Structure 1
Amino acid sequence: MISMTNQPISQDTTLKHPIHVYSEIGELKTVLLKRPGRELENLTPEYLERLLFDDIPHLPVIQKEHDYFASALQNRGVEVLYLEKLMAETLSLPGVREKFVADILSESKSNINGSYETLKEYLLDFDNEMLIETVMAGIRKSEIKPEKRRHLHEMIEDTYPFFLDPMPNLYFTRDPAAAIGHGLSINRMKEPARRRESLFTQYIMRYHPRFAKHDVPIWSDRDYRFAMEGGDELVLSKEVVAIGISERTTAQGIERVALNLLKHGDSFKKVIAIEIPKSRAFMHLDTVFTMVDHDKFTIHPFIQGPEGKMNIFELTLNAEGELQIAQHSDLLKVLKDVLGLQEATLIPCGGGDPIAAAREQWNDGSNTLAIAPGVVVTYDRNYVSNELLRKEGVEVIEIMSSELSRGRGGPRCMSCPIIRQDI
């Protein structure tokens, strides 16, 4: 097991600003991860669909694989922060602990059914690290001692085993919040099973000393009623952001982010909205399209229609400060135009072979994490796609993935970059 070596809460940061992401491929300096934990052991076949899983990972193995992933990043000089440790540090500040418990229980009202005081007392008995671990893992009804149960419904053993649902998707730190420029979108997740996840980021940004004193801009907040998820948000350059119109991100959510970025971001001039098929297999834009170098991109070819056509929308501001939208259909042409490229290469997942592409896309063959221009982290199981990347001159760092891949997310999904070097 690797150590979770976040900066001590008392140590001041020398950064001018704690959020700085103006590209997909700039050298990665700081990243936010979440080590898989007890929440995965609260998965059962009966509730997999409710909790957005297809299978039950083996916890010791998935932790070993995730530690290898984190070590691979640290070996390249990346500072790894852990969501659970940042949250525990955040709770040490006066009054924050009680406020967080109140908020997390309030947001879990569909599961606690009148057991607010019982669960509040139960959680506040823990130290900060165990409190966060318990909230993330979920609270089984069997954990509350019979003498602590105040209500009739708490005393009746019904078929549903949880007072507080587990959050098994938390190791996909990209989706609840994503860095764009020097700000964040703190997202309203589409599925109720994931909606509480962005509360952690909101608390860290508001209260943790590393972030709170910088007044980090929020491009979209988690209280907005239209869904947005970080897997759909790609920072192509300091002037251009691409956002997927997907199963999990709405057109209305994109418009709000676009308006805030184009009006208040310090360099962004265009938002490119890319429509992809709305299915669980494709889920987010980064499961079918990622940037791996200045002029190279991975793509799952099945998102393109006849002759490679797609629905692509270019959002800019007019002189009155209102959004204006132009429609395009050629992804390669759009990429060359907005990035000022003479040529660009789309590297097909699985080599474009109908079987290999479908198999490797299901296991996130297109979900690469660039840690520098032309250097990416991928799953080892996607050997066809990995070999194609190497043939295109991309350095590929493979990580073990037998259990990590069961959650239907790859290295980009599992990482939330918060500082990248400019390119």
Structure 2
Amino acid sequence: MNDTRKINVYSEIGKLKTVMLHRPGAEIENLIPEYLERLLFDDIPYLKVARDEHDKFADILRNDGVEVLYLEKLVADSLKDSMIKEKFLDEVLAECKVKESKNIEYLKDFLKSMPTKAMVDKVMAGVRRKEINLKEDVDQYPFIMDPMPNLYFTRDPFACIGKGISLNHMRTVTRRRETIFGKYIFNHHPEYKEAGIPQWYHRDNEFAIEGGDQLILSKEVLAVGYSERSDKEGVFKLAENIFKSGESFNTVLIFDIPKTRAFMHLDTVFTMIDHDMFTVHPGIEGELKVIALTYDQKNGKVIAEEEEGTLEKILSKHLNIDAKLIRCGNGDKIIAGREQWNDGSNTLAISPGKVITYERNYITNEILDKNNITVLAIPSSELSRGRGGPRCMSMPFYREDL
């Protein structure tokens, strides 16, 4: 491995070279019906099968020449220095909101007693009260440290944009701790800290923004969702920081999408699969409101202009293409509704015109195939229960430039 690594992501479709995943862990088995809503799940995946499916996902990537990195290992490698490990633990514990100081000490001693990789796995899995010898009453919440079952959706806590990252502020308290991992990777991992990777957004910023809302359409154009999970003000701040950096991006399109779970992130309603082709949820095919952000270099100000139009029209204009939309479920209301629930529009392009999808969305996959898109479908009976598709489960670190 190199002494230093770079981030390089200037498109959604450039040949994927390096990607970060998280193999589902014990945190999935700490889901129980009473706390599903709290932990942002609708169902409980069967871990053994979910891991098998995830391994097949990783194998497809490797077989295409993609280097697969794992979140849990990157974090563990970032904590080899004892002082950094101590600081990491203090930060994690502070965000767990444990009230009793003695319980904080019990919890810290419990975690410190483990080898670093096991400690990271445990922080992700969650800690039950009884594990640190505290009483666990029948009607009492059993976790002193919540599990983090959303971690296998590595797209959201931080996003690689250009040569930097957006270390995001997650909307829900449940997911906010996830961004600590990214903070330590890019500040302390031996292969990333030396690279001086810029951060366009910080987890302690006031406004929420999540990676599923951040799409890199070209070297010049970003699309960011104003959604259930991302604030418009956060997008303005992100855009300003990127514009001031001198990066190649000169336009940020803020898409105003419905603030509902079904339209949770922008990438649940459309994703880019080729130079001029996009998968799309039929539910956003009407008139859309978009704010186009550009930058006045002379006065150092972000300029915002409102636009209205169809997705097809907006993409065609800003990307200088004749955009073609592939409708999830072929536009059929019932099929689209079913396949969209299982992330039929959430595709991961690993090169132009070559995508990974869930095999259960077979109608959408057939339409993609008829449009000369190479489809690599993965099993998803359990992974899909988390309400996220292949794009949600991956964070590209390096794509070849187009």
C-alpha contact 2:267 2:346 (8 A) present in aligned 1: yes
Q: CA deviation at 1:281?
A: 1.1
- 2-structure distance, mates of 1:321, 1:34: 39
Q: Residue 383 in 1 paired to residue 362 in 2?
A: yes
Q: Residue 328 in 1 paired to residue 297 in 2?
A: no
| Secondary structure of the corresponding residue to residue 185 of structure 1 | strand
1:315 to 271, 293, 306: 293
Q: Residue 12 in 1 paired to residue 3 in 2?
A: yes
Deviations 1:304-346 (A, max 9, x none): 3xxx2111111001241211111122222221121121x1101
Q: CA deviation at 1:110?
A: 4.9
2:242 to 248, 261, 270: 261
What is the CA RMSD across the aligned residues, in angstroms?
A: 1.3
| Secondary structure of the corresponding residue to residue 41 of structure 1 | helix
Q: CA deviation at 1:93?
A: 2.3
| Secondary structure of the corresponding residue to residue 115 of structure 1 | helix
Seen in structure 2, the aligned counterparts of structure 1 residues 265 and 249 have a Cα distance that, compared at 3 Å, is: farther
Q: Residue 43 in 1 paired to residue 36 in 2?
A: no
The residue aligned with 1:170 is: 151
Residue type of the alignment partner of 1:384: I
C-alpha contact 2:289 2:308 (8 A) present in aligned 1: yes
1:73-92 equivalences in 2 (<5 Å): 73-92=61-80
Q: CA deviation at 1:155?
A: 4.2
Seen in structure 2, the aligned counterparts of structure 1 residues 111 and 81 have a Cα distance that, compared at 3 Å, is: farther
| Secondary structure of the corresponding residue to residue 262 of structure 2 | coil
Deviations 1:360-410 (A, max 9, x none): 111000000000000000000001111111111111100010000000000
Q: CA deviation at 1:94?
A: 4.0
C-alpha contact 2:130 2:136 (8 A) present in aligned 1: no
Mean CA deviation greater in 257-266 or 369-378: 257-266
C-alpha contact 1:181 1:265 (8 A) present in aligned 2: no
1:129-148 equivalences in 2 (<5 Å): 129-145=117-133
C-alpha contact 1:112 1:164 (8 A) present in aligned 2: no
C-alpha contact 1:32 1:173 (8 A) present in aligned 2: yes
- 1-structure distance, mates of 2:98, 2:173: 10
Q: CA deviation at 1:301?
A: 1.2
Q: CA deviation at 1:95?
A: 1.2
Seen in structure 2, the aligned counterparts of structure 1 residues 210 and 255 have a Cα distance that, compared at 3 Å, is: same
- 1-structure distance, mates of 2:78, 2:304: 41
The residue aligned with 2:106 is: 118
Unaligned runs of 5+ in 2: none
C-alpha contact 1:229 1:249 (8 A) present in aligned 2: yes
The residue aligned with 2:193 is: 212
C-alpha contact 1:186 1:221 (8 A) present in aligned 2: yes
- 1-structure distance, mates of 2:93, 2:394: 27
- 1-structure distance, mates of 2:132, 2:47: 24
Q: Residue 409 in 1 paired to residue 388 in 2?
A: yes
| Secondary structure of the corresponding residue to residue 311 of structure 1 | strand
Q: CA deviation at 1:206?
A: 0.3
C-alpha contact 2:98 2:144 (8 A) present in aligned 1: no
- 2-structure distance, mates of 1:115, 1:215: 37
Residue type of the alignment partner of 2:129: K
Q: Residue 250 in 1 paired to residue 231 in 2?
A: yes
| Secondary structure of the corresponding residue to residue 347 of structure 1 | strand
Q: Residue 188 in 1 paired to residue 179 in 2?
A: no
**Stretches of 4+ aligned residues off by more than 2 angstroms:** 110-114, 154-158
C-alpha contact 1:174 1:231 (8 A) present in aligned 2: yes
C-alpha contact 2:349 2:356 (8 A) present in aligned 1: yes
- 2-structure distance, mates of 1:160, 1:187: 28
1:217-232 equivalences in 2 (<5 Å): 217-232=198-213
- 2-structure distance, mates of 1:362, 1:398: 17
| Secondary structure of the corresponding residue to residue 401 of structure 1 | coil
Seen in structure 2, the aligned counterparts of structure 1 residues 173 and 113 have a Cα distance that, compared at 3 Å, is: farther
- 1-structure distance, mates of 2:324, 2:160: 26
Q: CA deviation at 1:25?
A: 0.3
Seen in structure 2, the aligned counterparts of structure 1 residues 41 and 113 have a Cα distance that, compared at 3 Å, is: farther
Aligned sequence identity (%): 55
Give the TM-score normalised by structure 1: 0.92
2:334 to 355, 378, 386: 355
Residue type of the alignment partner of 2:3: D
Q: CA deviation at 1:303?
A: 2.0
C-alpha contact 1:88 1:128 (8 A) present in aligned 2: yes
Unaligned runs of 5+ in 1: 1-6, 146-153
| Secondary structure of the corresponding residue to residue 207 of structure 2 | coil
Q: CA deviation at 1:113?
A: 7.0
- 1-structure distance, mates of 2:219, 2:323: 18
1:104 to 92, 105, 110: 92
Q: CA deviation at 1:112?
A: 6.8
Q: How many residues align?
A: 399
| Secondary structure of the corresponding residue to residue 381 of structure 2 | coil
Residue type of the alignment partner of 1:385: T
Q: Residue 369 in 1 paired to residue 348 in 2?
A: yes
- 2-structure distance, mates of 1:155, 1:26: 53
Residue type of the alignment partner of 1:169: N
Residue type of the alignment partner of 1:243: V
